[in-house]
């Protein structure tokens, strides 16, 4: 690594804006469908407390599936290994919203990051609580992790997800039919759609991701062993059916969201958030993935 | 880490022998079926040139699928990224010998470590060569990596694999029917069964695995970027349908074989070989997996 | 055929009560789960206007999926071949409530008798109408066919189906997510659960089935060509994943219901209804299937 | 039916030649690939001993999968219901050469007419015999049924099938791997490819099909009950994944072959053979299916 990090991020931002192919934004709800794809932002929070950023780093975007990491951390904190009775830990080899595997495996989702698995995780966190309490707990976790109270749920997005959420209702009812849902599909999905509708900028997201760095320099939110396990799950399952490709090209644990965000962790070193709303064919950010690959190569951040 | 590595391995060997459940050996060929499951050996080759071992560390065993790492390294060296037109890089979400996904995806195996993918890799290395030459090249690579010429193929095992190899013949003919086989099924499988029948002790295997450590202290056989990519593939796909679980529990890239061996890599630090012939339900070594999990925890070797 | 039909039915009823294995009743809703399995009734309505019966021939039971034949006749009458854009005509090779094929085939159910297909058929009949009107039309069709106004829907069963209908809600939401549902899942399923909850005795059901006999002696409700096609669909798809076995053993078109009823048609000759609530492993009536096989053999009624 | 049969066939032949879309011939072996698609022949053998024909009725063509009906008759004659332990009786819901279902169902093919099932049937007939004897028995059955000794196997086609038969070898080896093959894949497939390479004209094929009419006017080769069951299997499984559509449109039991032939049975009345080498998307004869639909409608031959 020759250049300092701020300079590298600055250059990366410039490079990313050269290629006019920004990919296509998710169009399943109008709130995401009308976002301008030609945006890019990146932020790095390092273990020593610094935060560097470039590009559209202050624009709040819908973090969507990236919140699955936070709810999973909370669910594991509450249920421990008991959670794995309800959901597996293996890559799915299928699209994020596939219902096929759910039938083949009797209603136990393959991992907590595909939609079916994340619905079970939300259902677990919700058990014994009201949606309002659960969402309060999730928001508190995220805000504490980010040291930032100015993080909110976009109610319009949550409502729209519910209106266009037939596929997720299909998954939730299927889970209910196999006995793997403690709450009603409506209640669980209401909570799920809300936490997926959290909005953050890459600066806020990079800060919130610090709890996965596992550095003695940082305040500790969860145990080292749990951090390692969350990072392992992000490595093998964090990009749906493109997880193997991301591990091959980038080499660090990360979780993507359909809003175009990616949260990546360099164990012991840094938390990285990148955002560009145009997606590739796996439903992961096109420019975000490319930027992560370049940054990891320049910084020698691959864990391999 | 309080104790020195030799002491830790010594203790690990003792601990592993306490639990009388050794798992069941693979029984699909008699040569593997009659092996005594109550054996355990472990060896660690560190970047500084040391080799430490404990248990049955000098007993040669059939490394089987672990050789897929070596042939993949050779295939990538020869064909480069062109290889990925023929085989994918994603976890399969299926058993090692499944033919289902092959049909669903038009004859392109999901990754180079499931049987169908490894057959394609062998076919790639074989293209333009005779089996004798190809096997010579593979043996030379393994012996050079291990700095040990006393590594051999067990011809009886290779012959027995061929006799009992209907499932692999089904995969190879299916690949041929989709145009994804350059050589005849007989020729490709003959070569495949032979390199899977290589025998090594854990000491030899740990030594052979050093080419994946990527340390300036070690002689270089392949480029850093390729090492990282091989390690990434081992992390996401190295244990078939139990890869996610291994990443979660152990946290380092590794490849298992049905003979009960596991080769694991601690990037920049060490190459670890463990062997115990009894298997768990995924077809991976029962005691070997447990020992790797303990060793990684004690040494803090998780990459996450 | 040596004996006259009434005598044959009398003997068949006696024979069926000998074997103490009645199978297990459907238990997914309590209303079906508490029915005594040790019941058997059979009725035959012949083209010449006669009605013969034996056993529990006046007990009303939940006809369930048998109503799919009536709603399909109505849907074809209204939409014609346009219906086949929304649903196929091929045996599914899967269980009646499988969602797998729906995903593989983009939301077009394989045939109108598996649950997903019947939901689409109900949705088609419902289009432009209110549930009350649609159910009125279905009831009118059934009562006219049976020449019997004393046929009703069991509201308790319909309500219970809705409460325990997560699997059907999963199917309906999945259909909605692919754009193959004109009405809301709630509205379509409400109608679907109601028409499945129609109750008839075997006498009533045999009378209602006469519209599929295609005899000049009978009043005509639908065209000959449509009758033949409905019968063809019953032959290839009428017993879900046991349709091939029923064709092989019995050899006449028929539709089963989870309440233990079977409606069978001997083209040009007779309509047969049989009921025994205990089911075989395919979810079809155990004694009912056996009785149909014997009756068809005695009478030489196989179409083959 | 107003016109006499010869006149109807004459007209049908003329009508079929009007539409210039003949479909595409099977191209997986050169011997089939170079056949002129613009050919059409039809023949009807009636229970009273008459034989009527029109079009290219004397041209011998490769009957291919139609021979599966004859080998199944022989296998049932020899093994009886024991055969059904090795193969099912249900429509597959899949393409004729799919290997997916074979894996899902542990190596028991869904029915005797998909390739995997027909390979098992051939293997059953072959058990305890040499291929030469088995083929002799099959030829004798076909020649006796047709009352014609001038029916032969095309050795060039058989050889070519073997050369291009990777998909069938995949199926056979898979069956062997599950223990559902008594003979070697090479021996079973050698016999299978040979009986599929039988050549007949539609006149010969219609004559050979008479053994399925079940008329007291005809010499009896197999029992009535077995005839009915063979016809039932042809109805539900005779056109692979287009069986439901054929039953819906035509309404009589029939078996198609990739060479463009169809053998259909009107129970008690007639045996019909039609041939036109161009295929539709299910791999069944395009013009042959259309001609069968028209003929059945004109003659009122639907069994429904």
User: pLDDT tens, A152-198?
Assistant: 999 999 999 999 999 999 999 999 999 999 999 999 999 999 999 99
Q: C16 pairs with which residues across the strands?
A: none
Alpha-carbon gap, residue D185 to D193, rounded angstroms? 12
List the single residue in B92, B253, B267 with the smallest CB-CB distance to A93. B92
Alpha-carbon gap, residue B163 to B160, rounded angstroms? 5
Active site (annotated) includes residue C240: yes
The nearest CA of chain A is from the CA of C161 a distance in Å of: 12
**Residue C172: exposed, middle, or buried by beta-carbon count in 10 A (0-12, 13-18, 19+)?**
buried
Q: Return the percentage of chain A with pLDDT > 90, whole number.
A: 92
Identified catalytic residue from C62, C65, C92, C285: C65
List the single residue in B93, B101, B304 with the smallest CB-CB distance to A267. B304
In the structure encoding, which two tokens stand for residue B217, read together?
């202290």
Instruction: Give the DSSP letter of residue C58.
Output: S
User: pLDDT tens, B6-50?
Assistant: 999 999 999 999 999 999 999 999 999 999 999 999 999 999 999
Evaluate whether residue D89 is within a structural domain: yes
Alpha-carbon gap, residue B31 to B33, rounded angstroms? 6
Evaluate whether residue B10 is within a structural domain: yes
Alpha-carbon gap, residue B1 to C60, rounded angstroms? 76
Alpha-carbon gap, residue B9 to B16, rounded angstroms? 10
List the single residue in B100, B104, B170 with the smallest CB-CB distance to D170. B170
D222 lies in which domain range? 5-62+200-299
Evaluate whether residue C304 is within a structural domain: no
User: Is the pTM here over 0.90, yes or no?
Assistant: yes
Element (H, E) at B118: helix B115-126
User: Taking CB atoms and an 8 Å limit, are D103 and B104 in contact across chains?
Assistant: no
More confident residue, B3 or D108: D108
Active site (annotated) includes residue C302: no
Longest dimension (CA), chain C: 57
Alpha-carbon gap, residue D165 to D169, rounded angstroms? 6
- Tell me the HSE value of C2 on the side-chain side, using a 13 A CA sphere: 0
Please list the active-site residues of D: 65, 68, 192, 240, 258
Are residues A44 and A37 in contact, defined by beta-carbon separation less than 8 angstroms? no
Identified catalytic residue from B62, B63, B65, B243: B65
Active site (annotated) includes residue C68: yes
Chain C residues with CB inside 8 Å of D237's CB? Answer: 244
Evaluate whether residue A304 is within a structural domain: no
Chain B residues with CB inside 8 Å of D170's CB? Answer: 99, 169-171, 173-174, 177
User: pLDDT tens, A107-132?
Assistant: 999 999 999 999 999 999 999 999 99
Chain B residues with CB inside 8 Å of A69's CB? Answer: none
Q: C55 pairs with which residues across the strands?
A: C41
Number of domains in chain B: 2
**Which among B88, B119, B129 has a CA at the least distance from the CA of B186?**
B119
| pLDDT of amino acid A2 | 61
- Clarify whether residues B163 and B73 are in a common domain: yes
Evaluate whether residue C122 is within a structural domain: yes
User: pLDDT tens, A16-51?
Assistant: 999 999 999 999 999 999 999 999 999 999 999 999
| Integer-rounded Cα radius of gyration of chain D | 18
Evaluate whether residue B209 is within a structural domain: yes
- Clarify whether residues B43 and B80 are in a common domain: no
- Tell me the HSE value of D33 on the side-chain side, using a 13 A CA sphere: 7
User: pLDDT tens, D181-209?
Assistant: 999 999 999 999 999 999 999 999 999 99
The nearest CA of chain D is from the CA of B239 a distance in Å of: 21
Helix (H, G, I), strand (E, B) or coil at B207: helix
Alpha-carbon gap, residue D162 to D151, rounded angstroms? 21
Query: Residues B69-96: what's their mean pLDDT?
Result: 93
Chain D residues with CB inside 8 Å of B173's CB? Answer: 166-167, 169-170, 173
Find the closest chain D residue to B169 by CA distance. Answer: D173
Neighbours of C104 (CB within 10 A): 12
Q: Which of B198, B218, B238 is the last residue of a domain?
A: B198
Q: How far does chain A reach from its first CA to its final CA, in angstroms?
A: 17
Q: Which of B178, B198, B218 is the last residue of a domain?
A: B198
| pLDDT of amino acid C111 | 95
DSSP states along C191-257: HHHHHHTEEE-HHHHHHHGGGGT--TTS--SS-HHHHHHHHHHHHHHTTGGGHHHHHHHT-S-EEE-
- Residues B241, B245, B248, B249, CA torsion sign: negative
User: Taking CB atoms and an 8 Å limit, are B174 and D166 in contact across chains?
Assistant: yes
Res. B1 pLDDT band, cuts 50 70 90: very low
The nearest CA of chain A is from the CA of C115 a distance in Å of: 14
Res. B267 pLDDT band, cuts 50 70 90: very high
Element (H, E) at B264: strand B261-266
**Three-class SS string for chain D?**
CCCCHHHHHHHHHHHHCCCCCCCECCCCCHHHHCCCCCCCEEEEEECCCCEEEEECCCCCEECHHHHHHHHHHHHHHHHHHHHHHCCCCCCCCCCCCCCHHHHHCCCCCCCCCCHHHHHHHHHHHHCCCCHHHHHHHHHHHHHHHHCCCCCEECHHHHHHHHHCCHHHHHHHHHHHHCCCCCCCHHHHHHHHHHHHCEEECHHHHHHHHHHHCCCCCCCCCCCHHHHHHHHHHHHHHCCHHHHHHHHHHCCCCEEECCCCEEEEEECCCEEEEEECCCECCCCCEHHHHHHHHHHHHHHCCCCC
Find the closest chain B residue to D107 by CA distance. Answer: B167
- Residues A166, A170, A171, A177, CA torsion sign: positive
Tens-digit pLDDT string for chain C (304 aa)? 468 999 999 999 999 999 999 999 999 999 999 999 999 999 999 999 999 999 999 999 999 999 999 999 999 999 999 999 999 999 987 777 778 778 878 899 999 999 999 999 999 999 999 999 999 999 999 999 999 999 999 999 999 999 999 999 999 999 999 999 999 999 999 999 999 999 999 999 999 999 999 999 998 999 999 999 999 999 999 998 899 999 999 999 999 999 999 999 999 999 999 999 999 988 999 999 999 999 999 999 999 9
Mean confidence (pLDDT) of chain D: 95
To 10 degrees, the CA torsion angle through D41, D46, D48, D53? -10
Residues of B with CB under 8 A from a CB of A: 88-94, 101, 110-111, 225, 227-229, 231-233, 235-237, 241-245, 247-248, 251, 253, 267, 302-304
- Residues A161, A166, A168, A172, CA torsion sign: positive
| pLDDT of amino acid A1 | 47
Neighbours of A152 (CB within 10 A): 13
- Clarify whether residues A148 and A87 are in a common domain: yes
- Clarify whether residues D220 and D127 are in a common domain: no
User: pLDDT tens, B137-173?
Assistant: 999 999 999 999 999 999 999 999 999 999 999 999 9
DSSP states along B145-192: HHT-S--EE-HHHHHHHHHT-HHHHHHHHHHHHTT--SS-HHHHHHHH
D: neighbours with 3+ CB pairs under 8 Å? Answer: B, C
Instruction: Give the DSSP letter of residue C49.
Output: S
- Clarify whether residues D51 and D100 are in a common domain: no
Instruction: From residue C63, give the alpha-carbon distance in Å to each of A16, A126, C255, C260.
Output: 64, 39, 10, 8
In the structure encoding, which two tokens stand for residue D246, read together?
């054929």
Instruction: Please check the confidence at residue D1 and state whether its pLDDT lies above 70.
Output: no
Task: List Cβ neighbours of B91 (8 Å cut-off, separation of 6 or more).
Answer: A90, A91, A93, A236, A243, A244, B110, B111, B236, B237, B243, B244
Mean confidence (pLDDT) of chain B: 95
Evaluate whether residue B304 is within a structural domain: no
Res. D2 pLDDT band, cuts 50 70 90: low
- Clarify whether residues D146 and D23 are in a common domain: no
To 10 degrees, the CA torsion angle through A92, B24, B233, A299? 100
- Clarify whether residues D69 and D189 are in a common domain: yes
- Clarify whether residues C119 and C187 are in a common domain: yes
- Clarify whether residues A241 and A148 are in a common domain: no
DSSP states along A138-189: HHHHHHHHHT-S--EE-HHHHHHHHHT-HHHHHHHHHHHHTT--SS-HHHHH
More confident residue, D261 or C1: D261
B: neighbours with 3+ CB pairs under 8 Å? Answer: A, D
- Clarify whether residues B28 and B44 are in a common domain: yes
- Clarify whether residues A75 and A188 are in a common domain: yes
Which value does ipTM take for this structure? 0.95
The nearest CA of chain B is from the CA of D172 a distance in Å of: 7
CATH of the domain at D171: 3.40.710.10
Are residues A197 and A154 in contact, defined by beta-carbon separation less than 8 angstroms? yes
Q: B24 pairs with which residues across the strands?
A: B279
Query: Residues D133-157: what's their mean pLDDT?
Result: 98
Identified catalytic residue from B44, B63, B68, B266: B68
| pLDDT of amino acid D226 | 96
Query: Residues D229-249: what's their mean pLDDT?
Result: 95
Evaluate whether residue D304 is within a structural domain: no
Instruction: Please check the confidence at residue A100 and state whether its pLDDT lies above 80.
Output: no
Query: Residues B85-112: what's their mean pLDDT?
Result: 87
**Which among C47, C40, C55, C48 has a CA at the least distance from the CA of C6?**
C55
Find the closest chain A residue to B247 by CA distance. Answer: A232
The nearest CA of chain C is from the CA of A206 a distance in Å of: 34
Are residues A115 and A97 in contact, defined by beta-carbon separation less than 8 angstroms? yes
Active site (annotated) includes residue C192: yes
- Clarify whether residues A214 and A256 are in a common domain: yes
Q: Which of B152, B171, B198 is the last residue of a domain?
A: B198
């Amino acid at each position: 690594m020759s250049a300092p990090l701020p300079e590298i991020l600055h250059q990366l931002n410039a490079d990313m804006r050269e290629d006019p192919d920004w990919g296509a934004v998710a169009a399943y709800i109008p709130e995401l469908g009308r976002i301008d794809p030609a945006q890019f932002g990146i932020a790095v929070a390092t273990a020593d407390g610094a935060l560097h950023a470039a590009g559209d780093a202050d624009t709040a975007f819908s973090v969507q599936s990236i919140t699955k990491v936070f709810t999973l951390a909370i669910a594991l904190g509450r249920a421990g290994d008991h959670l794995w009775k309800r959901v597996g830990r293996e890559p799915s080899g299928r699209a994020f919203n596939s219902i096929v595997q759910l039938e083949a495996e009797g209603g136990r989702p393959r991992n907590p990051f595909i939609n079916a698995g994340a619905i079970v995780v939300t259902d677990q966190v919700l058990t014994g609580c009201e949606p309002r309490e659960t969402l309060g707990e999730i928001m508190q976790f995220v805000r504490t992790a980010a040291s930032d109270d100015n993080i909110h749920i976009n109610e319009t997005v949550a409502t729209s997800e519910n209106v266009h959420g037939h596929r997720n209702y299909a998954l939730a009812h299927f889970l209910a039919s196999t006995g793997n849902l403690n709450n009603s599909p409506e209640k669980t999905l209401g909570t799920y759609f809300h936490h997926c509708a959290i909005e953050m900028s890459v600066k806020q997201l990079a800060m919130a991701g610090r709890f996965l760095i596992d550095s003695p320099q940082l305040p500790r939110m969860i145990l080292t062993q749990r951090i390692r396990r969350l990072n392992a799950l992000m490595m093998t399952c964090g990009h749906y059916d493109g997880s193997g490709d991301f591990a091959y090209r980038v080499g660090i644990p990360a979780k993507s969201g359909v809003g175009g965000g990616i949260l990546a962790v360099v164990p012991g070193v840094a938390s990285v958030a990148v955002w560009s709303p145009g997606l590739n064919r796996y439903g992961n950010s096109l420019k975000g993935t490319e930027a992560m690959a370049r940054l990891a190569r320049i910084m020698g951040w691959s864990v391999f």
